Amino acid sequence: MTDTTTSQIIGRHRPTIAHINLAAIRHNIQAELQRAKPGTEMFAVIKANGYGHGLVEMARATLAAGATGLCVAILDEALVLREAGITAPILVLGVTPVTWAQIACEHNIALTVGDQQWLTDAAPMLTGQLRIHLALDTGMGRIGFQKPTELADGLTVLAQYPNKFNFEGIFTHFATADEADHRYFDHQVQRWQAMMAVVPRRPRYVHVSNTATSLWHEACNGNMIRFGVGIYGLNPSGGSLTSPYPLEPALRLTTRLAFVKRLAAGDSVSYGATYTARHDEWIGTLPIGYADGYPRRMQGFYVLVDGQRCEIVGRVCMDQLMVRLPREYPVDALVTLIGEDGAETITMQDIATYAGTIHYEIATNLNMRIQRVYEN
């Protein structure tokens, strides 16, 4: 069993909180399941601490909402779920070193395999039957069998060790399913079909659909969907494509003013003195910074106080950042960094766009120092 002890501190004694709306999680999963063909299963992708929403909590919430299995990135994430008492099927999407194949076998965890050599090396080590999913590289260029002949060789090894391997799944991953141009997507579909032509018996799970594929190419779903970023109400295209149903964002990030002061004209704020007040103004300090995963490059963006946009002034510090207030507010006044306040809303995509990245990175960078509170 993995060692799950950690020295990671959760900030329970400061007011910076990620509020996770479980009703939104349920809505997003059930809306997708309603669109799927009857009999289609869903494995919820909860890797990277549930995309920043909490690993174990998201496992429980997604299974309760209708998911029939779970996907993680590394074996240790799967072992944490088993330690938490979760018995649902779990697939590790990344390549696990052969050394740890027996541990996965003992805990009934399915591993991804992308080449014949892994199977050959693992077989002598196993004392039971390991559940595996074969990964096919149809154009992602990441992991997996690349040619039909390679896949056929891998299937031959599986046939040689029926007591060592439970061939329960086969899959690929599309690189451009979230783009309007379908040409590369169609190229991958053709390669997938050519690879599958050498598979004489299809396993229980045949899956190609991540969130984007399931939203915009549902005809390709196979009999299982790997539903990931859509669980959390985030559009995988970043908004360039419209979801067939409203995705409800599940995470709201708030804090409170920790310090409020009057800044005189000519005074500067934060490292490098990159902001200097032109007039006397009120400055609020917030107890959150880049060590929490809020990007350092957000100077010039804004937060919401009392339903008003308040500019981030000066460089974001490791543990704090400063904002210009329209007037004096009391210490402990509520501040919204992600979510709604009055008529104003800040989305994770808004932050990502300003930071020059994608909302996946914003979500997964929100680290465990930020307390999670589960609502609804």
Look at residues 99, 176, 96, 107 and name the one whose alpha carbon lies nearest to residue 133. 96
Q: What was the pLDDT predicted at 117?
A: 97
Q: How many CB atoms lie within 10 A of CB 290?
A: 18
Each residue of 351-375: pLDDT tens digit? 999 999 999 999 999 999 999 999 9
- Which one of 163, 198, 232 terminates a domain? 232
Q: What was the pLDDT predicted at 184?
A: 96
- pTM across the whole model: 0.94
- Alpha-carbon span 212 to 236, nearest angstrom: 6
Residue 358 maps to a domain? no
- Alpha-carbon span 120 to 117, nearest angstrom: 5
Residue 88 maps to a domain? yes
What CATH number is attached to the domain comprising 90? 3.20.20.10
Residues 66-82, mean pLDDT to the nearest whole number: 98
Q: Report the Cα 47 to chain-centroid distance in Å.
A: 6
Each residue of 216-235: pLDDT tens digit? 998 787 899 999 999 999 99
* DSSP 3-state of 265: coil
Residue 2 has pLDDT above 50, yes or no: no
Catalytic residue among 164, 271, 290, 302: 271
Q: What average pLDDT does the chain have?
A: 95
What confidence tier does 7 reach under pLDDT thresholds 50, 70, 90?
A: low
Asked if residue 318 belongs to a known ligand binding site, the reply is yes
What confidence tier does 6 reach under pLDDT thresholds 50, 70, 90?
A: low
What CATH number is attached to the domain comprising 326? 2.40.37.10
Chain position carrying tokens 């300003």? 354
Residue 356 tokens read as 């020059």
Q: Do 262 and 227 share a domain, yes or no?
A: no
Q: What was the pLDDT predicted at 1?
A: 45
Please report, rounded to a whole number, the percentage of residues in the chain having pLDDT higher than 70. 98
C-beta pairs of 345-354 under 8 Å, 24+ apart in sequence: 346/302, 346/303, 346/304, 347/249, 348/234, 348/249, 348/251, 349/234, 349/235, 349/238, 349/239, 351/295, 351/298, 351/301, 352/238, 353/238, 354/297, 354/298, 354/300, 354/301
Q: Do 270 and 184 share a domain, yes or no?
A: no
Q: What was the pLDDT predicted at 4?
A: 46
Domain extent for 108: 22-232
Helix, strand, coil fractions of the chain, as percent rounded to 5:
30, 25, 40
Q: What was the pLDDT predicted at 195?
A: 96
Residue 359 maps to a domain? no
Residue 104 maps to a domain? yes
Query: Among this protein's residues, is 47 annotated catalytic?
Result: yes
Look at residues 19, 13, 11 and name the one whose alpha carbon lies nearest to residue 52. 19
Q: Do 224 and 277 share a domain, yes or no?
A: no
The number of distinct structural domains making up the chain is 2
Each residue of 249-302: pLDDT tens digit? 999 999 999 999 999 999 999 999 999 999 999 999 999 999 999 999 999 999
Q: Do 319 and 196 share a domain, yes or no?
A: no
Q: What was the pLDDT predicted at 352?
A: 98
| Interstrand relation of 90-95 and 69-72 (parallel, antiparallel or unpaired) | parallel
Each residue of 10-34: pLDDT tens digit? 999 999 999 999 999 999 999 999 9
Please report, rounded to a whole number, the percentage of residues in the chain having pLDDT higher than 90. 95
Question: φ, ψ for residue 370 (rounded to 5)?
Answer: -85, 120
Look at residues 374, 365, 373 and name the one whose alpha carbon lies nearest to residue 49. 365
Q: Do 114 and 227 share a domain, yes or no?
A: yes
Catalytic residue among 47, 164, 294, 302: 47
Each residue of 311-333: pLDDT tens digit? 999 999 999 999 999 999 999 99
Asked if residue 131 belongs to a known ligand binding site, the reply is no
Q: Is 321 exposed, middle or buried (0-12, 13-18, 19+ CB in 10 A)?
A: buried
* DSSP 3-state of 343: coil
Residue 13 maps to a domain? no
The residue type of 27 is H
Beta sheet of 90-95, edge-to-edge order:
205-207, 165-171, 130-135, 110-113, 90-95, 69-72, 41-45, 224-227
- Which one of 183, 200, 232 terminates a domain? 232
Residue 360 maps to a domain? no
Q: Do 316 and 173 share a domain, yes or no?
A: no
Q: What was the pLDDT predicted at 180?
A: 92
Q: Do 207 and 317 share a domain, yes or no?
A: no
* DSSP 3-state of 140: coil
Q: Do 214 and 316 share a domain, yes or no?
A: no
Residues 335-346, mean pLDDT to the nearest whole number: 97
What confidence tier does 144 reach under pLDDT thresholds 50, 70, 90?
A: very high
- Alpha-carbon span 126 to 71, nearest angstrom: 22
End-to-end CA distance of the chain: give it in Å, rounded: 33
Contacts of 297 (CB under 8 A, 6+ apart): 316, 354, 355, 356
Each residue of 341-354: pLDDT tens digit? 999 999 999 999 99
Residue 246 tokens read as 């409203």
Q: Do 228 and 259 share a domain, yes or no?
A: no
Query: Among this protein's residues, is 271 annotated catalytic?
Result: yes
Residue 373 maps to a domain? no
Q: Do 45 and 99 share a domain, yes or no?
A: yes
| Torsion (CA) 62, 80, 252, 255 in degrees, nearest 10 | 160
Residue 189 has pLDDT above 60, yes or no: yes
Q: Do 38 and 135 share a domain, yes or no?
A: yes
Q: Do 38 and 180 share a domain, yes or no?
A: yes
Residue 80 maps to a domain? yes
